[in-house]
Amino acid sequence: MLAAVALAAEDESYADDRARMVQTIEAHARSATDALGRDHIDPRVLAVMNKVPRHEFVSEVYGEEAYGDRPLPIGHGQTISQPFIVALMTDLLQVGPDDVVLEVGTGSGYQAAVLAHLVQDVHTIEIIPELAEGAGERLELLGYDNIRIYTGDGYYGVPEPAPYDAIVVTAAAHQVPPPLIQQLKPGGHMVIPVGGGFALQHLMLVEKDADGGVRTRQTLPVRFVPLTRGT
């Protein structure tokens, strides 16, 4: 599994860039103790960030910036998130190797690829057909066989494989979508940016207890593109 990913990650021309990216993530984590509850990102997450070839998930135009500390355009008004934010959101999900995860907002497929190394299965939904198709082709070429992509309105999640051990939303919603809360397994975690599009937003951690009760906690102020809805 993921043999092509391993080969891509061994590309020496990007190895130093990935190492510097991970060092930057670690530095950010030391100043984000309120969000994490500690001063570091899970080492398992850092190891994956140092493995997944981020340059494969951006346009060649941005190849030299692929491991920089900022989001990059991926077309259709969407972006690939800043590496630290990807690492932070992945960390907050607290996933394990037997987990099944839902991602809302496939984009280029990078967040799904990171999660695929840490969980059993990733289900990811994208409302823009061209992005969903491109991500599918990219992930297949890289050898990912535990990611399933859907095209549709992510506000409603993907009910059929639910409930999920964790849910990650990679675009800002005005509120936590009730269908996603319903699809979250008791004991599960959801990470979602909440706030106005291109205005003040906060990364929210949503936890569902064993009795179905829901707790939310604000972590960091963030800026995501708005969650695109169907018409």
Q: Catalytic positions, please? A: 81
* Lookup: tokens for 77: 């008004």
Q: Which of 51, 26, 53, 20 is nearest to 41 (CA)?
A: 26
CA distance 107 to 113: 11
CA-CA distances (angstroms) from residue 168 to 16, 25, 38, 112, 165?
29, 19, 21, 10, 10
CA distance 137 to 54: 15
CA distance 103 to 112: 7
Which helix (H) or strand (E) segment holds residue 214: the answer is strand 214-222
Burial 205-230 (b: 16+ CB within 10 A, else e): bbbbeeeeeeeeeebbebbbbbbbee
Angle at 53 between CA 50 and CA 59, to 5 degrees: 140
Kindly report whether the peptide bond that precedes residue 71 is cis, defined as omega within 30 degrees of 0. no
